[in-house]
Amino acid sequence: MYTASCLCNGIQLKINAEISQIFICHCQQCQKAQGTAFVAITPIQMKDLIITQGQNLLGEYYATENKKRVFCRRCASPLYSARSDLPDVIRLRVGIINEVLNIEITSHAFTSEKADWFEILDDHPQFTQHVQPSQ
């Protein structure tokens, strides 16, 4: 069990699942959405995410037709994304989790779009396009 919150603390979340993977996405949409070089996400089942406070603060944005990005409408923290064709699995933004995770990065995706000023310094697998299909 983990907890998570947005920057203003208006949205409080509980995660009823083990978190064992961190995927880094370097695509240009994620760069724009986070305002930095990449996003760090962990896939979890929607049923394992409990919004304990701030449901009214949730905003949604569709940069592409089949994927919504959910954020806090007050402080703009990115919270998770979800694909319309895979509604049961969400991609939680790892940076909003409150606890220490003690796990390593699983892999890097979309390195073909990586910010030129950012250098990948770890040895974890890199994919030029999508994250590995098993996700």
The residue within the footprint of Zn ion, chosen from 22, 40, 51, 75 (CB under 5 A), is: 75
Does 15 sit near Zn ion (CB under 5 A)? no
CB 23, min distance to Zn ion, A:
9
CB 29, min distance to Zn ion, A:
5
CB 9, min distance to Zn ion, A:
7
Site for Zn ion, residues 76 to 135, rule: CB under 5 A: none
Decide if 110 contacts 127 (C-beta within 8 A): yes
Does 13 sit near Zn ion (CB under 5 A)? no
The residue within the footprint of Zn ion, chosen from 4, 15, 30, 44 (CB under 5 A), is: 30
Does 74 sit near Zn ion (CB under 5 A)? yes
CB nearer to Zn ion: pick between 75 and 120: 75
Decide if 112 contacts 128 (C-beta within 8 A): yes
Q: What is the DSSP string of 47-95?
A: GGEEEEE-GGGEEEEEEETTEEEEEETTT--EEEEEETTSTTEEEEEGG
What value does the CA radius of gyration of the chain take, rounded to a whole number of Å?
Answer: 14
Structure tokens at 93: 């933004």
At residue 33, φ and ψ (nearest 5 deg) are -65, -35
Residue 2 is which amino acid? Y
Site for Zn ion, residues 44 to 73, rule: CB under 5 A: 72
Chain residues binding Zn ion by CB under 5 A are 6, 8, 10, 25, 27, 30, 72, 74-75
